[in-house]
Amino acid sequence: MNDALELNYNQWLELFSKWNEQKFRADQICQWIYARKVFNYHDMTNISKALREKMSTSILFTLPVLIKQQTSQDGTKKFLWQLNDNKYIESVLLNHGSYKTACISTQVGCAMRCSFCATGTLGFTRNLTQGEILGQFLMMEKLNKADINNIVFMGMGEPFLNEDNLFSVIRVLNHPKMRNLGARHITISTSGIIAGIEKLSDFEIPIRLSISLHASNDELRSKIMPVVNKNYPLQKLIDALKFYKNKTGERITFEYAMIDRMNDSPENAYELAALLDGLQPYINLIPLNPVASKPEYKRSSDERIKNFGRVLKELNIEYEIRKERGSDIDAACGQLAAKK
């Protein structure tokens, strides 16, 4: 049976045309789902009863089931969802007053096994479907009782290893008749999957790109991000990013988790600046969030983070020191592990 969240706009059009229904039915149904977050046909009152009944027996809504919701002292919310096959994933809602960002998962677990990341300890189970990725966002909007301004694919999993579903999700989110979310409000974060970066260079929707770098040389990166750096070592990654930047004109953000005595020396900062030379980078310095199973990885001191920043400033590299958000409920970057 079809699933409502697996359909894009053209597929809704095709379906209604097959049923000899008028085209505007597609607009109506997308309005109910993506603007009003109504997920049961019974409440779609501008659609005839007969059509509602036909739909309810042929197109399902399989949404992620909310198992647990936690709220951090700083207003960050974490959602634990159960999927159809009893797998669990998490999503996070970041609150900056009325400005809200949803952090969404793309896979159950992750195959990249980055050594400082809770999701990495889980290993990979499976990709999420288009409907499961959209479902997290729409359910969060429904629970939030208002639209969420931004979406970042920075939850569990490596988005570019689930590229087909990721791109179809973005098309649905951006489509004017569907969620109509602006391209500038959508960000992909990747550990550095070059094939995905190349595809994004040709993608028709100019979304934002963020690279999880975390190291200033290959030796260090292979230690903390072994899987991705084996396949896509730094120089290849940098070349792909230069290609992307030239092709799209987009500025790239880099994530750099500050790990005590591992990657946070002034030398690392100089090396990082040299590595990114010519890319006009924007760097987020993220104090490492603690992961219970990884006690050997510690957050850099404020002093070391500041000193790192001073070097970048001297070299005219723009950066920001990020505040930890939601770490008291394990909702911060790298802490998602979908524990029941």
Residue 48 corresponds to which amino acid? S
For position 290 contacting ligand SF4 by CB under 6 A, the verdict is no
Q: Which is nearer to ligand SAH, 15 or 283 (CB)?
A: 283
Minimum CB separation of residue 58 from ligand SAH in Å reads 35
* Whether 72 contacts 328, CB under 8 Å: yes
- Residues touching ligand SF4, count (CB under 6 A): 12
Is 268 among the residues that bind ligand SAH (CB under 6 A)? no
- In angstroms, the CA 114 to CA 222 distance is 9
- Are 54 and 19 spatial neighbours (Cβ–Cβ below 8 Å)? yes
Q: How far is the CB of 235 from ligand SF4 (least distance, A)?
A: 20
d(CA 143, CA 259): 35
Pick the piece of the chain touching ligand SF4 (CB under 6 A) from 82-90, 117-125, 264-272, 284-292.
117-125
Q: Which of 257, 275, 285, 305 binds ligand SAH (CB under 6 A)?
A: 257
331 binds ligand SF4 (CB under 6 A): no
Q: Which stretch binds ligand SF4 (CB under 6 A): 71-79, 93-101, 105-113, 198-206?
A: 105-113
Quote the least distance from Cβ 335 to ligand SAH, whole Å.
Answer: 6
Does 333 interact with ligand SAH (rule: CB under 6 A)? yes
For residue 200, give every residue at least 6 positions away whose Cβ sits within 8 Å of its Cβ, in sequence order, or none.
188, 207, 209, 244, 248
- Residue 182 φ then ψ, to 5°: -65, 145
Least distance between ligand SAH and beta carbon 50 (Å): 45
Q: Which of 5, 92, 108, 291 binds ligand SAH (CB under 6 A)?
A: 291
114 binds ligand SF4 (CB under 6 A): yes
Q: How far apart are CA 289 and CA 330, in angstroms?
A: 9
Interacting residue with ligand SAH among 187, 263, 289, 300 (CB under 6 A)? 289
Contact 249, 208 (CB under 8 A): no
117 vs 128 by CB, closer to ligand SAH: 117
Listed in sequence order, the residues at least 6 apart from 45 whose beta carbon sits closer than 8 Å to its beta carbon are none
Q: Is 125 exposed, middle or buried (CB count within 10 Å of its CB: 0-12, 13-18, 19+)?
A: middle
Q: Is 191 in the site for ligand SAH (CB under 6 A)?
A: yes
| Residue ranges in 217-332 assigned as alpha helix (H) | 218-224, 226-231, 234-248, 266-275, 302-314
3-state secondary structure at position 18? helix
Told to check if 190 binds ligand SAH by CB under 6 A, we report: yes
Residue 162 lies near ligand SAH (rule: CB under 6 A): no
Where are the alpha helices (H) located in 22-159, listed in sequence order? Answer: 24-30, 49-56, 118-122, 130-144
Give the footprint of ligand SF4 on residues 191-250 (CB under 6 A).
191, 212
The answer to the question of residue 238 lying near ligand SAH (CB under 6 A) is no
Q: Is there binding between residue 286 and ligand SF4 (CB under 6 A)?
A: no
What is the C-alpha to C-alpha distance for residues 38 and 156, in angstroms, rounded to an integer? 26
Residue 120 in the binding site for ligand SF4 (CB under 6 A): yes
- For 37, the 3-state DSSP assignment is coil
Measured in degrees and rounded to the nearest 5, phi and psi for residue 336 equal -80, 125
The tokens for 234 are 């730094």
Per-position x/- string for 90-119, each x denoting binding to ligand SAH as judged by CB under 6 A, each - no binding = --------------------x-----xx--
3-class secondary-structure state, position 205: coil
Judged by the rule CB under 6 A, the positions of this chain that interact with ligand SAH are 110, 116-117, 154, 158, 189-191, 212, 214, 255, 257, 286, 288-289, 291, 333-334
Residues near ligand SF4 (CB under 6 A): 110, 112-114, 117, 119-120, 157-158, 191, 212, 334
